[in-house]
Amino acid sequence: MKIAHLGHSTIYLELADNTKIIIDPYIDANLPEMWQTNHLKVDYIILTHGHGDHVAGVFDLIKHQQPTIIAVAEIANFFAKLGQKVHGMNIGGGFDFPFGRVTMTHALHTSSLEYEGQVHYLGNPAGIIIEADGKTFYHAGDTAEFMEMDLLGEDYEIDFACLPIGDNYTMGPKQAARCAKRIQAKKVLPIHYNTFPVIKQDPQKFIDLLTDAKGIVLPFGKIYEI
């Protein structure tokens, strides 16, 4: 499983069977051209929730291809109405896709999208577990810390977790470090920080708080293989 951090909460995954997945596509103007949403080829887009800083990139991606959008039912319905291929799910449910299994987990946050001047409330936010290539990957989405994270640690052997550390909109470094312990992740990538002034954080301080997990900061667009 190849993993790249494309800024904010955007993660690109490339699997052994060549399936290409992007999670929460957002702004990419500063990335090399190959990573920009008007060039990037993907088979699936997975969305954790409807906020613009997780969904804005979808509108460029779908201009030049027809990826399947995997999201909570309300978001899937929203994109189905725009003519997109979708697969709606809901929290607690998993599905075996050709590339592997996707499970939607709880996230403690909100979910809405302003589109063409109207605010759409898009169900509950989610986290995502992907089991593929013999590895388990967790993207927490935007979330506060919650105690059921302990169950994720019990149910899964999480090889790689993406956890928001920005504070203000999500958990901050202290809670995210405790979350890493709850889910017993082997490796943790901090996400959702430094994009805006209110979520300014030093990722090294978060990494220093980790007790068992290994913290990793990836330069945007660098491929990391687990």
Question: Which residue ranges make up the site for Mn ion (CB under 5 A)?
Answer: 51, 53, 142
Segment interacting with Ni ion, rule: CB under 5 A, options 30-38, 84-92, 137-145, 189-197 = 137-145
The answer to whether the CB of 221 falls within 8 A of the CB of 4 is yes
Contact pick of 5, 8, 51, 187 for Ni ion (by CB under 5 A)? 51
Segment interacting with Ni ion, rule: CB under 5 A, options 44-52, 56-64, 83-91, 196-204 = 44-52
Q: Report strand pairing: 160-164 vs 187-191.
A: parallel
Residue 106 near Ni ion by CB under 5 A:
no
- State the nearest-atom distance from the C-beta of 85 to Ni ion, in Å: 24
The answer to whether the CB of 22 falls within 8 A of the CB of 10 is yes
Altogether, the residues listed in the chain come to a count of 226
Segment interacting with Ni ion, rule: CB under 5 A, options 56-64, 112-120, 139-147, 174-182 = 139-147
Answer with the entry of Ni ion, Mn ion, none that 167 interacts with (C-beta below 5 to 8 A by kind): none
User: CB-wise, 142 or 159, nearer to Mn ion?
Assistant: 142
Per residue in 155-189, is it b (16+ CB within 10 Å) or e — as a string?
A: ebebbbbbbbbbbebbbbbebbbbbbbbbbbbbbb
- State the nearest-atom distance from the C-beta of 8 to Mn ion, in Å: 7
Segment interacting with Ni ion, rule: CB under 5 A, options 24-32, 126-134, 138-146, 213-221 = 138-146
- State the nearest-atom distance from the C-beta of 51 to Ni ion, in Å: 3
For residues 117 and 109, give the distance between their C-alpha atoms in angstroms, rounded to a whole number.
22
User: CB-wise, 21 or 191, nearer to Mn ion?
Assistant: 191
Q: Tokens in use for 167?
A: 């504070």
Q: Tokens in use for 49?
A: 């929730």
For residues 43 and 135, give the distance between their C-alpha atoms in angstroms, rounded to a whole number.
19
- State the nearest-atom distance from the C-beta of 169 to Mn ion, in Å: 5
Q: Report strand pairing: 118-121 vs 126-132.
A: unpaired
Answer with the entry of Mn ion, Ni ion, none that 74 interacts with (C-beta below 5 to 8 A by kind): none
The helix/strand/coil state of 160 is: strand
Contact pick of 14, 43, 142, 159 for Ni ion (by CB under 5 A)? 142
- State the nearest-atom distance from the C-beta of 199 to Ni ion, in Å: 11
- State the nearest-atom distance from the C-beta of 167 to Ni ion, in Å: 13
For residue 53, the one-letter residue type is D
Q: Report strand pairing: 160-164 vs 135-139.
A: parallel
Q: Summarize as ranges the residues that interact with Ni ion (CB under 5 A).
A: 51, 142
